[in-house]
Structure 1
Amino acid sequence: MPPTDYHGPVPDPTYIATQWLEGLAAAANDADIDAFAGSLVAAGWMRANHLQPDLLCFSWDYRCLNGNENITTFLSESIRGQTRLNAAGLHSFQVQATSTLGPPALVSSPLDPSAQAIQAVFEYSISSPPGRGRGFVRLVEEQRHEWKALTILFTLHEIKGHEEPRVRPTGLFPDFVTWDEIERERKGAIEGDPTVLIANVKLVVGGSLTGLICAARLTKLNVRALVIEKDARIGDVWRNRKLFPKYIPRVKLADFLEAYATGEDLVVWTSCELLPIPKYDSASKHWSVTIHRGGERQTLRPKHIIMATGNGKAYKPEFPGIEKFIGLVYHSDDHRGATPFKGKRAVVVGACNAAADMCIDFFAKGAHSVTMIQRSATCVISANAADTLVYDRVYNERFAVEDADFGSLSMPTRLGLKLAAAGSTKVAKAFDKELFDGLERAGFALTWELTPGGGEVGAVGFVAERAGAGSMMDLGCGRLIIDGKVEVKRGSIARLEADSVVFEDESRVGADVLVLATGYKPVIDNIKELFGPEITDTIGFRLGGIDEEGEHMRAYRPSGHAGLWFALGLLPQIRAFSKYLILAEELGLKETEPV
């Protein structure tokens, strides 16, 4: 890779990024793997999509490779007699000038905030499959005047002939056919012979945001997608919640989901359920599934099933003596408001997001006392810190949402966790120091480590590795704890008595209502119940979280079982990765064989 020289004391980011990109293009054109890998620093990261280094450009799966040796080995693998690099046929590289992320720019180096780095968005073309790619690079100055990539993101943006339409529909149709007639015919075709069935898993709804976004992307590509939803109305999963989320009232969000389904012309069956056990015919490459709808059973034969999964079933620990307790016991999922408990003694088991929501509600509705039982330390970040340190930077209003998602994807998850442990968590702790000092004085245990001695990865680590389990975004419960309006009791419950909770040290707390904010069982339990225990022979025992490379476990990528896909995660992941899921060759959207 030739030096990317510049003139004068201040680096010219556009010049340097362009020069670096020209060197990368030459390496790709010559299929020179050493030169291609040499465009990164020795410990650089290449993320791609199939889906990612590959979000699909080099293989039909997400990959995130660290170090020149791993990158070189991957790109050297033989595909139809060619190396991966040669077979992909990357060409026509250029800096992307239209991104709202801006032109190449000088930024602080992720590794050393006192040093400079350059970030740039670029675009390129792909020969196999024929399509357009989009990339993001962070360049650091390895030696004077020699800039190399610390991170590169390659994504397959679209496949030629299967582009997402971006032109607003006119509403005018040939032969004076009306929209109603076209929609009736389209809906009938989908309901009669869906290509993709997007389904719920017991408490997890296909008709919530995850399933709807996947369905919308498929619909825009003229793939027959049918969503089945257990609730009676789209959005009920949010209508039945309390307090959370922060920015949009739950009822408004629920109504938006309903309007979204209408606006995107989605076909959604409500009040219906996918019954055990779907059968897959490997010869015809279709499923046979039974749907319970309107009191009747109906059989469908989709080519694919997308499980829009979130949490597993509610975990409800059974305490000795529960039959003696004269109060009410229920899981936080079943909380329908604290108004009936005015003047009562409320005890909440748990110390994370759901528990905080419950405590706030009980206090606000006039409970006589509110006690939070904390069984283990919690990772806390205030909503203000999350806004200031994360969202205002990554999802600033000046960025288009698609660009903001893309910029977020550009940071390899494992590198992000290393950077958190190396210093960014300390910044978050300093930001919330007053809150944390007060919580600790009140007896609330804090942690920023996933495992003892594993490094303080903070909230970003809990979200990435555990989907947020074990953490709390403080929306006001912290102040209630500090002020003594919510009492914190640490320890394990030994038993329940008629009107109290007794702990292992024989201390007790009076209770009229006991809420179990105790989280959820693993999602795989739901999947085994629906598809049969033998499904783990192909998909394994873990869904969600991240693998060794930092990519989603089984989600938005081949699951191990033909025709079975999983969609999960937070909104940014859902928006970004649903695009790559539906570009997969297995969904029948690509005519050429994948690299």
Structure 2
Amino acid sequence: MTLDPTEIASSWLQSYAACLASGDVKGAVSCFQDTGFLRDLLVFTWNNRTLHGHEKINAYLENTLAHASITDLKLESRRGLVPEIDRFNAQLVSSAAHTVSAGFTFLCKVGRGRGYFFLVPVDAGGWKAISVMMQLADISGHEEWIQEEGAHAGHTLSWTDVNRERREIIEKDPYVLIIGAGHTGLNAAAQFKHLNIPSLVVESNMRIGDNWRKRRVLPQTYLDIYCELLYHPYPTSWPLYLPRDKIADWLEHYAQAEDLVVWTNSRPLPCPTYDRTSGRWTVLRELLGEPNIPIMDNRDTFDGPIVHCVDYKGGKPFAGKRVVVVGAGNTSADLCQDLSFHGAESVTMVQRSASLVIPIALVQNLVENMYPEELEIDTCDFLVMAKPVPLIQEMADRTEALLVEQLKETYQPLREAGFKLVTNKNLFTVFYSTYGGGHTSTVPSRNLCLLASLMTGYFYDVGCVDLIRSGKVKVKQGVKIARLEKNSVIFTDGSTLEADAIVLATSFGSIRDSMRGIFGDSVIDQTSPVWGLDDEGELRGIYRPSGHPGLWFAAGEFYTSRARAKHLALEIKAVQLGLLKL
């Protein structure tokens, strides 16, 4: 029997729509499988929620459905969102032989929404949803604009004058202060601009992009199709793996092309205050997320350099030296490879716990499947967002054994070298379960966004595994540095290793903890932990209310900062319009 995905999707959506419109909670819940997911991104509440199973979905809708006023559900007609059979392998999401998936649009109390669902057949006949994602797309009367006319006062005003006046207005009275002009901060600033939210970006470096230019580790592991910025596709002639400096220059160009208001080399003074009556911040200081420096007894007795990765200037100064690299994530792998290439006598990677290792070819294959050339990047981001993280984890569990088998040749030499592997987490789980540090800084503003995107716990293999296999990079596993002697490192297991230099690839502390020195405990204690997953599988503390009014956290690699910028902008717009009270 030939399945008609449009007929199946239309029939299911019609039933679901009727229940939502009439306020029939039990009927709406019955449209889901018993173990189905409902992912709500700012539709039923001004927050990001994932509900799993009939009981939780029912309890959630009982309190929110009537207020949301969901109506006018229609199937999407845009490419990549029309009903399809087995867009994702059915065996990855259920035991069913086939899945049907489709996008849809709808109206809600505050505006327009977008959604996506995955259906599976049930024994009793018909189809039910294993997952439904519903996302607020725009607030009525305050829709995102894409392109302006470009002619001003009947073509009598020059663009230079118009742009200067716009900048001056924002600089005098920004509604949002964004701290850090990395890809996360710039994506947010561009999104805010297109929702008419005046925002000022403060960057401590001399130039936009310097946070990339100053990196001294291997730069070529960033896939161009994954690293796009909002509104600006990368040139098709660019390399598949983007060099570090090319990304830096692209960020600088992006800020200019989007006419973003950015203050570089800006170092305001202490200390931020928040006026609850006016709802305004006065922020007075710049701070980089503090490097995570492990405690090592007798540190002053060590005769060689001890360098944190933030201050690493390349491997040449370490030629002929015995180097110990503390850490086993992406930065450590890049550092070890760089040190070996530049002639270090020996390189030893110190791994305290366990790490996930993914060959770069597998990452490329995954990203190309997620971001096919024929689909717009916004559509691809939307399809990735359509799957709740717990569902992704379930899908990963189903393929774990197969993946481990495929990676046997990669993993075997690592195990033989003593490297401890994480093999029960897929790529997305690692991204979401690690945490970041970041930048902060100040001027008077109503909303303060702290941006971060540093992560640990995994590395993409672009050559380090071969160095470990050959013995050029050795592994010391399950220990930390206990103390130092003049020319040696003593580990917590009592063993000793002669060393001439130590490089700390230990990332940065949590941006939330770093902010205590700026905002104080009374403010930070009101905020949620930042990064990682909550009990529902949603990101903690970022792109959602932090717990303190006017203070928002944003973080993530390119996909997360690009796809989530709209969510953050809509929340702040809702505050500005009085729709959201914090």
* Pair in the same fold by TM > 0.5: yes
SS in structure 2 at match of 1:176: coil
Query: Structure 2: where are the runs of 5+ without partners?
Result: 222-240, 436-454
User: 288, 292, 313: which one pairs with 1:315?
Assistant: 292
Pick from 519, 522, 527 the counterpart of residue 507 of structure 2: 519
| Counterpart-to-counterpart distance in 2, 1:457 and 1:470 | 11
How far does the alpha carbon of each residue in 1:507-538 deviate from its partner, in whole angstroms, 9 at most, with x for none?
43222221011232222211211111111332
Matched residue type, 1:385: L
Say whether residues 1:563 and 2:550 are aligned partners: yes
Which one is further off, 152-161 or 103-112?
103-112
How far is the alpha carbon of 1:21 from its aligned partner? 0.7
Q: Partners in 2 of 1:529 and 1:562 — Cα distance? A: 19
CA change 1:393–1:289 in 2 (3 A) is same
Paired with 1:588 and 1:363, the residues of 2 have a C-alpha distance of 52
Q: Look up the equivalent residue of 1:207 and give its one-letter code.
A: A
Residues 493-520 of structure 1 show CA distances to partners (whole Å, capped at 9, x for unaligned) of: 3322222223345543222221011232
Q: Which of 428, 450, 454 pairs up with 1:460?
A: 428
How far residue 427 of structure 1 moved from its aligned partner, in angstroms, is: 2.7
Quote how far apart the aligned CAs of 1:69 are: 1.5
Q: Which residue of 2 aligns with 1:185?
A: 165
Equivalent of residue 399 in structure 1, options 350, 364, 375? 375
2:326–2:502 Cα contact (<8 Å) kept: yes
Q: Counterpart in 2 of 1:414? A: 390
Residue 439 (str. 1) matches residue 419 (str. 2): no
Given candidates 38, 41, 46, the residue that maps to 2:33 is: 41
Q: Report the counterpart of residue 426 of structure 1 in structure 2.
A: 401
Identify the residue that residue 214 of structure 1 maps to in structure 2. Answer: 188
Q: Secondary structure at the match of 2:415?
A: helix
Which residue does the alignment assign to 1:236? 210
Helix, strand or coil for the counterpart of 1:116?
coil
RMSD: 2.1
Match of 2:274 among 271, 276, 280: 280
* Aligned counterparts of 2:176 and 2:121: Cα–Cα separation in 1: 48
Question: Is there any run of 5+ residues in structure 1 with no aligned partner, and where?
Answer: 1-8, 51-56, 78-83, 200-205, 293-308, 449-455
Match of 1:333 among 310, 324, 328: 310
The answer on 1:578 being equivalent to 2:570 is: no
Q: How far does the alpha carbon of each residue in 1:519-573 deviate from its partner, in whole angstroms, 9 at most, with x for none?
A: 3222221121111111133214x11111111112121111111111111122211
In structure 1, the residue matched to 2:251 is 257
Instruction: Give 1:39 shift.
Output: 0.8
**Cα distance in 2, alignment partners of residues 99 and 538 from structure 1:** 44
1:134-163 CA-partner distances (Å, limit 9, x unpaired): 111000111254100000000111112211
Q: Deviations over 1:395-452 (max 9, x none)?
A: 22222111111111111112222332x322223212211010111122222123xxxx
Give the secondary structure class of the aligned counterpart of 1:290: coil
CA contact (8 A) 2:46 2:580 kept: no
Q: Secondary structure at the match of 2:142?
A: coil
- Partner secondary structure for residue 489 of structure 2: strand
Q: Aligned AA for 2:260?
A: L
Deviation at 1:475, TM superposition (A): 1.6
Q: Hey, what does 2:327 align to over in structure 1?
A: 350
Q: Name the residue aligned to 1:474.
A: 461
Q: 2:360 aligned to 383, 404, 422, which one?
A: 383
Report the counterpart of residue 5 of structure 1 in structure 2.
none
TM-superposed deviation, 1:588:
4.2
The AA in structure 1 aligned to 2:410 is L
State which drifts further: 311-320 or 117-126. 311-320
Q: Distance in 2 between matches of 1:72 and 1:314?
A: 45
Q: Which one-letter code corresponds to 1:222 in the other structure? A: N
State the distance in 1 between where 2:115 and 2:168 align: 40
| Contact residue 116 and residue 134 of structure 2 kept, 8 A | yes
Is contact 2:76-2:105 (8 Å) kept?
yes
Matched, 1:485 2:472: yes
Q: Does the 8 Å CA contact 2:93/2:391 hold for their aligned counterparts?
A: no
- Give the C-alpha shift of residue 380 in structure 1: 1.4
Over 3 Å counting, the alpha-carbon distance change for 1:175 and 1:395 in structure 2 is closer
Shift of 1:586: 5.8
Q: 2:61 aligns with which of 75, 98, 102?
A: 75
Residue identity matched to 1:42: D
Structure 2 CA distance for aligned equivalents of residues 328 and 382 of structure 1:
32
Q: State the one-letter code of the partner of 1:356.
A: A
Given the superposition, is the C-alpha separation of residues 245 and 528 from structure 1 closer, same or farther in structure 2, using an over 3 Å criterion?
farther
CA distance in 2, matches of 1:441, 1:214: 45
Shift of 1:593: 6.9
1:60 and 2:46 aligned: yes
Displacement of 1:367 in angstroms is 1.5
Deviations 1:291-345 (A, max 9, x none): 67xxxxxxxxxxxxxxxx9x94211113222212111111112111111222222
1:64-213 matches, within 5 Å, as 64-77=50-63, 84-107=64-87, 108-109=89-90, 110-112=92-94, 115-126=97-108, 128-129=109-110, 131-143=111-123, 145-167=125-147, 169-171=149-151, 173-174=153-154, 176-199=156-179, 206-213=180-187
Q: Distance in 2 between matches of 1:442 and 1:215?
A: 46
| Partners of 1:418 and 1:194 in 2: CA distance | 43
The alpha-carbon deviation at position 492 of structure 1 amounts to 3.2
What is the CA distance between 1:101 and its match in structure 2?
4.3
Alpha-carbon separation, structure 1, partners of 2:300 and 2:243: 37
* Alpha-carbon separation, structure 2, partners of 1:73 and 1:113: 27
Give the CA deviation at 1:585: 5.7
Cα–Cα, structure 1 residues 114 and 175, in superposed 2: closer, same or farther, change >3 Å?
closer
SS of 1:579's equivalent in the other structure is helix
Contact 1:104–1:121 (CA under 8 A) maintained in structure 2: no
Is this contact kept in 2: 1:277–1:530, CA < 8 A?
yes
Kept in 2, the 8 Å contact 1:279–1:288? The answer is: yes
Partners of 1:102 and 1:484 lie apart in 2 by: 52
Matching residue's letter, 1:166: I
**Equivalent pair of 1:275/1:530 in contact (CA under 8 Å):** no
Matched residue type, 2:72: S
Report the identity percentage. Answer: 37
- The offset of 1:393, in angstroms, is 1.8
Distance of aligned partners of 1:254 and 1:171 in 2 relative to their CA distance in 1, 3 Å threshold: farther
Q: Match for residue 305 of structure 1?
A: none
* 1:373 counterpart SS class: strand
CA offset digits 1:170-194 (Å, max 9, x no partner): 4554350011111111111111111
Q: Name the CA distance, whole Å, in 1 between partners of 2:83 and 2:267.
A: 48
| Partner amino acid, structure 2, of 1:403 | T
Give 1:11's match in structure 2, choosing from 3, 7, 24.
Answer: 3
Shift in CA distance, 272/137, structure 1 to aligned 2, threshold 3 Å: same
Is the Cα–Cα contact under 8 Å of residues 466 and 545 in structure 1 kept in the other structure?
Answer: yes
**Deviation at 1:166?**
2.3
Question: Within 1, Cα distance between the matches of 2:193 and 2:573?
Answer: 16
Q: Is the 8 A contact 2:574 2:580 kept in 1?
A: no
